[in-house]
Amino acid sequence: MKWQVEESEVSAVISVQGLNKVYDSGFQALKGVDLEIQSGEIFALLGPNGAGKTTLISIICGIVNPTSGTVLADGHDIIKAYREARSAIGLVPQELATDSFETVWATVSFSRGLFGKPRNDAHIEKVLKSLSLWDKKDNKIMMLSGGMKRRVMIAKALSHEPKILFLDEPTAGVDVELRREMWEMVRQLREQGVTIILTTHYIEEAEEMADRVGIIRKGEIILVDRKERLMQQLGRKQLTVHLAEPMQILPAELQGLSLELADEGYSLVYTYDANQESTGIAELLRQLNDVGIEFKDLHSRQSSLEDIFVDLVHNGQPSQLEEVAG
């Protein structure tokens, strides 16, 4: 039905299909990537170094040519309708341009002009204020702190009122305080209706911010899912049993269980699948009792996105993952 087609067109603000990239060196950096980014979401693209994150972003933003495949940004083909597609996108690249003698105001206004947009001082003022740069508007960029330079890069990317903002490693090498500040800024942008795609290898960043997570490995998207669902479906739980007396080795009776000694023998860590009907905890506690092991406390924790990511990237096979993600 037609209205359904239109609805999906409206909700996918970026649509990538069958995207391949072979660099001149012959290296294939992207292998048949399919990806849809929904309007208004924060999407985190996670992957180890060299996985193809920057290549993917650069193609969508028109900086690198694809070898084959199609990309629509805000409904515009990035090659056939380059200008329209590009003007829907703001890009904050990995590298900071730090050597500018220009003022903050001049740099950000100039960026807007590059997209052929008419001058709009009120918009530039709004952007600078929302990024807490207003009182620095007459300062030269080279005189600003690293954190402020990063904000200037974001202001430049927002100068032409894009619907979509790409942040390539937005918090690489920044301190914890500044990272939190950046996250807050990104959330505010989303509230203003901007769709945000960020690449990161800080899992914490994706865990904190993303609505959906895509995992890329060796040029292939191996998984895309809602963050909560991913954590729920692929997550395992760990139960830590704090022992009354330390233990040197596991008694023979307990060796068949997925148990590990930790904390210099003061803790037993039991790993289980939270989705299984039977977790095995009751059985574990019964066995501890039978063997005469006393414990002081029990404590359980859900595996983090980091545990899941490490598992997927280093051990996971796409076929298994599809099954799990099903």
Ligand X SMILES: Nc1ncnc2c1ncn2[C@@H]1O[C@H](COP(=O)(O)OP(=O)(O)OP(=O)(O)O)[C@@H](O)[C@H]1O
Instruction: List interacting residues with ligand X (CB under 6 A).
Output: 23, 25, 27, 29, 47, 49-55, 201
Q: Enter the tokens of residue 51.
A: 């996985």
**Min CB(72)–ligand X separation in Å:** 21
With 0-12 / 13-18 / 19 or more C-beta atoms within 10 angstroms meaning exposed / middle / buried, residue 155 is: buried
**Min CB(130)–ligand X separation in Å:** 28
Q: Which is nearer to ligand X, 29 or 182 (CB)?
A: 29
How many whole angstroms separate alpha carbon 210 and alpha carbon 230? 12
**Min CB(283)–ligand X separation in Å:** 43
Write the CB contacts of 53 (distance below 8 Å, at least 6 apart in sequence): 45, 47, 168, 199, 216
**Min CB(55)–ligand X separation in Å:** 3
CA atoms within 13 A on the CB side of 253: 11
How many whole angstroms separate alpha carbon 241 and alpha carbon 264? 13
Q: Which is nearer to ligand X, 50 or 265 (CB)?
A: 50
Q: Which is nearer to ligand X, 45 or 104 (CB)?
A: 45
Q: Which is nearer to ligand X, 53 or 150 (CB)?
A: 53
């069958």: which residue's tokens? 18
Residue 226's beta-bridge partner residues?
A: 212
Q: Which is nearer to ligand X, 214 or 235 (CB)?
A: 214
**Min CB(52)–ligand X separation in Å:** 4
Strand pairing class (42-46; 89-92): unpaired
